[in-house]
A and B are shown apart, each in its own frame.
Chain A
């Protein structure tokens, strides 16, 4: 058995929420992430961009425990979470929106949010008919925030694509997680819906730290957070939106992929 080596002895920075420390993810010889490191401060907004296949979704997967790092560590609130079970990682305060909308189609919009909002997720507490009052209020709040109050009693599968995206963002928010990982939240949205989504995400910043992945540069500009660029599994650049836009190295990476980028997907 390995003896646990204490993580770091310098006093952890209280502002630091997440540290990804030298993470490599190896899919049978292909390194989707290669010695990647990044930190997130509490309450900050970070936008992660990079060409298709750069490893952005893999980074989210690694933080949330869906994919296990071959080497390196993920540290959240000062504790290592690299090998915890997925549901335990979520209960510690990280929640993720998937790239393809991951809603619960046969439940009502409201029940989707209620399941997310429930704080006590132990199975033997699930035999009641309704969630607690404070959680009900939370659901009402989130319904307001994502603009689905009028449709709360409809079955979620009946929502339009953009509304499903908002519902899933709402579910992630309703969990009251400290860190929200939003993987391509505007996929399949028109410009009007995209700006609404940017507004929605900016409104979350008081209470949550948010990591957003996206392709769409105009959306990234509206978000106006710090940008990290990932390329072939490696860190390429970090800076403000305008720094990144004028960076020749970043431009080179994207120019090589200009055709892909015209129609962002994946």
Chain B
């Protein structure tokens, strides 16, 4: 392969990111790790929405399933044998519900992070896509799912911790979660998973699967009348997106120390779509940058002016959709007719069309 400066950029970025523990404070590192975890979800959305044209307003559900699966384990490992979590005691439960039991085992919990969102997404999307429901209807169904999920979590306080969710964890696999070493280790694990997710989805996009997925997005009937059943391609894309959302949720829960209904409902699900819209839904780089940028901005702005944040986010979304349909990534489109050139042209005085 020929060396080019452009191909060195990704390597430089990853090296820099891996060196972050020596460059920034432990607090900043934890923040960075949180947002990198969210970037994994954004990478999944590129496959689902950008490549597959499937607008999901329910990614929060899969994020939550992954997050809760791990959080259940973290709650259970703190307990003395035979004990049940504090919120269950307060709600008057006597013993651990049966479906909590497997999560005591760390391997089961980690499998649960992947399998619970994955199997749920596969079953759900198979039912829907097999019946050829798509587009806006699909988006609405997923939004209803997000609403139902957060409502269920809040209403079943005895089993889910209700509005407060699950919080106050201390150890994972025997390691103290609050120690500096653990924060660095979890950061590296997250960074590695971002790279794996990025490369994995990129491979899918380049394979024949990716081409068929794009073909289905552009002309489902043409694909069907070439002898393919389009449903499996959409189901797989949606399922991969859900698994990545689940992993993202589990990592986020570790870094943030909490998972709660407020993080997984309708509004967070819409925000997830906005990260990707702003970054560029057809670009993996764009999605990662969108997730990081918006979440850093949110961290800065919402602590200073808590009321302004949602308006700001909404405004940014409208601006991007109107002027940059390919998001930030569209500014750097490789072809000469890139958006940057186009934007400059339209902004040049006296040339307004």
Contacts of B323 in A (CB 8 A): none
Given contacts A106-B218, A111-B211, contact A116 B206 (CB under 8 A): no
Contacts of A96 in B (CB 8 A): 225
A244 is an interface residue with CB less than 8 A from chain B: no
Convert A106-139 into 0s and 1s, putting 1 for each residue whose CB lies closer than 8 angstroms to a CB of B: 1100010011101001010011111100000000
The listed residue (B204, B207, B226, B229) touching A115 by CB distance below 8 A is B226
The listed residue (A102, A121, A126) touching B222 by CB distance below 8 A is A102
Complex Cα spacing A116 to B208, Å:
12
Q: Which of B206, B217, B228 has the most CB of A within 10 A?
A: B228
Contact, CB under 8 Å: A104 / B218? yes
Convert B233-255 into 0s and 1s, putting 1 for each residue whose CB lies closer than 8 angstroms to a CB of A: 10010000000000000000000
Contact, CB under 8 Å: A86 / B215? no
Contact, CB under 8 Å: B215 / A107? yes
Binding site for A on B (CB under 8 A): 204, 206-209, 211-212, 214-215, 217-219, 221-229, 232-233, 236
A171 is an interface residue with CB less than 8 A from chain B: yes
Contact, CB under 8 Å: B212 / A115? yes
Contact, CB under 8 Å: A102 / B221? yes
A152 to chain B, nearest CB (A): 14
Contact, CB under 8 Å: A175 / B227? yes
Q: Which 6 A-B residue pairs are closest in the complex by CB-CB distance?
A: A90-B227, A123-B232, A102-B222, A104-B215, A126-B209, A126-B208
Given contacts A91-B227, A95-B225, A123-B229, contact A105 B208 (CB under 8 A): no
Contact, CB under 8 Å: A107 / B227? no
Contact, CB under 8 Å: A127 / B225? no
The listed residue (A90, A115, A128) touching B215 by CB distance below 8 A is A115
Contacts of B218 in A (CB 8 A): 104-107
Main secondary structure of the interface of B (DSSP, over half): helix
Name the residue of chain A whose CB is nearest to the CB of B229: A87
CB interface residues, A 175-193, toward B, < 8 Å: 175
Contact, CB under 8 Å: B207 / A95? no
A136 to chain B, nearest CB (A): 12
Contacts of B227 in A (CB 8 A): 87, 90-91, 95, 121, 175
- Other CB < 8 Å A-B pairs besides A90-B226, A98-B222, 5 of them? A86-B224, A107-B218, A126-B212, A127-B204, A127-B207
Can you report 6 A-B residue pairs in the complex whose CB atoms are below 8 A from each other?
A64-B225, A104-B223, A115-B226, A123-B232, A123-B233, A126-B212
B103 to chain A, nearest CB (A): 31
B221 to chain A, nearest CB (A): 7
Contacts of A118 in B (CB 8 A): 208
Contacts of A175 in B (CB 8 A): 226-227
Complex Cα spacing A85 to B212, Å:
19
Contacts of B236 in A (CB 8 A): 123
Contact, CB under 8 Å: B219 / A107? no
A213 is an interface residue with CB less than 8 A from chain B: no
Name the residue of chain B whose CB is nearest to the CB of A91: B227
A103 is an interface residue with CB less than 8 A from chain B: yes
Contacts of B209 in A (CB 8 A): 123, 126-127
Contacts of B204 in A (CB 8 A): 127
Contact, CB under 8 Å: B225 / A106? no
Contact, CB under 8 Å: B208 / A131? yes
Name the residue of chain A whose CB is nearest to the CB of B204: A127
Contacts of B212 in A (CB 8 A): 115, 126
Contact, CB under 8 Å: B211 / A115? yes
Complex Cα spacing A96 to B226, Å:
8
Complex Cα spacing A114 to B217, Å:
17
Complex Cα spacing A23 to B17, Å:
67
Contact, CB under 8 Å: B219 / A102? yes
Contact, CB under 8 Å: A129 / B207? yes
Name the residue of chain B whose CB is nearest to the CB of A124: B232
Complex Cα spacing A106 to B211, Å:
9
Contacts of B207 in A (CB 8 A): 126-129
